[in-house]
Amino acid sequence: MKLQQLRYLVEVAKQGLNVSDAAEALHTSQPGISKQIRLLEDELGVQVFVRNGKRVVDVTAPGKEILKISERILREAKNLKRVAEEFVNEQEGGLVVATTHTQARYALPPTIHDFMQRYPGVKLSIKQGSPTQICEFVMDGSADIAIATEGIDQFPELAMLDCYSWNRSIIVPDNHPLLDLKGQLRIEDVAKYPIITYDFAFTGRSKINRAFESCGLAPNVVLTAIDTDVIKTYVGLGLGIGIVASMAFDVKRDVGLFAIDASHLFEPSTTHIGIRRDAYLRGYTYSFIERFAPHLTRAVVDAALNNKGEE
């Protein structure tokens, strides 16, 4: 039994049972993958996959358990390599951070700048996606940590650590009637206008909806996007008012737009870091996390990882 055979098994399952796609992802040949999987099945004495001719069409009952164990073995093999790398050269390696556009564009730049100055030998990669996608990146090992507001709590295999709280602003173009309001902005004032905001899966959208529902109102959302810059672009075109994370508004860059504080209208949201509970973290990963959220020291992170979801 070889680790490579386990990698082939897991990749075929990951690629929706498409052996050709698995071969492409692993930079090898389809016949080679098929042969090695057959050899492993012969060694184990059971079939992992159900086949129809040359096509893989399903996973057998024992195959499902074998895949789970294979994934665990591969994760531990990766952890072994990280342990060795930590002792050989703690200043070099790779770190993949999976996150949403808002975090990558507005929250992470200072952390990334400081980290790259401190660890020039570490190759840092940012993988963007929806909250669910970035959690899946961490789950399948293609990312080391996830940073998002939504979604991490839906994955019990991930330890979830609170980073910081934030709220929202209403973005309007110049001369908009909301800029002339006397007194504090009300949810009823916002409800009068077409709204451009985040896609439901992103950046605390559920709390926006709840704020309107609590007042018996329905927001007139005419356009949604995953990218805050897209939202601001269409606000600038006069298609509606924007509801965005306050950190995403920059007075110098967002010329022609104005931000109205709306933190009193919406519940605050919290950005979290998600990490596999069985992951071995390199020293520089702890450093990255603490740079992003100073209260998340190595001891705090380790305590969260060692809490096996029993809280």
**pLDDT at residue 86, rounded to an integer:** 67
Residue 215 burial (C-beta neighbours within 10 Å; 0-12, 13-18, 19+) = middle
Phi, psi of 223 (to 5 degrees): -155, 135
**pLDDT at residue 270, rounded to an integer:** 94
What's the pLDDT tens digit per position in 153-183? Answer: 999 999 999 999 999 999 999 999 999 998 8
**pLDDT at residue 74, rounded to an integer:** 87
Summarize the confidence of residues 261-286 as an average pLDDT. 93
Q: Is the pLDDT of residue 204 over 80?
A: no
Q: Is the pLDDT of residue 115 over 50?
A: yes
CA 304 to mean position of chain CA atoms: 18
**pLDDT at residue 311, rounded to an integer:** 41
**pLDDT at residue 224, rounded to an integer:** 93
Summarize the confidence of residues 278-302 as an average pLDDT. 94
pLDDT classification of 80: cutoffs 50, 70, 90 = confident
> From the DSSP assignment, how many helices (H) and strands (E) are in the chain?
12, 12
Dihedral sign, CA of 256, 201, 295, 141?
negative
CA 173 to mean position of chain CA atoms: 31
Cα distances (angstroms) measured from residue 6 to each of 14, 40, 57, 81, 90: 12, 8, 19, 17, 28
Summarize the confidence of residues 238-251 as an average pLDDT. 94
What is the C-alpha radius of gyration for the chain, rounded to an integer number of angstroms?
A: 24
Q: Is the pLDDT of residue 309 over 60?
A: no
- Non-local (6+) Cβ contacts of 293 within 8 A are 161, 162, 163, 164, 273
pLDDT over 70 percentage in the chain: 96
Of residues 163 and 79, the one with the higher pLDDT is 163
- Spatial separation of the C-alpha atoms in residues 293 and 126, rounded to whole Å: 18
pLDDT classification of 87: cutoffs 50, 70, 90 = low
Phi, psi of 197 (to 5 degrees): -155, -165
Q: Which two tokens stand for residue 304?
A: 């969260």
Query: To the nearest 5 percent, what fractions of the chain are helix, strand and coil?
Result: 45, 20, 35
What's the pLDDT tens digit per position in 38-63? Answer: 999 999 998 999 988 888 889 999 99
**pLDDT at residue 14, rounded to an integer:** 87
**pLDDT at residue 310, rounded to an integer:** 46
Q: In this structure, are residues 155 and 139 in contact, taking their beta carbons and an 8 Å threshold?
A: yes
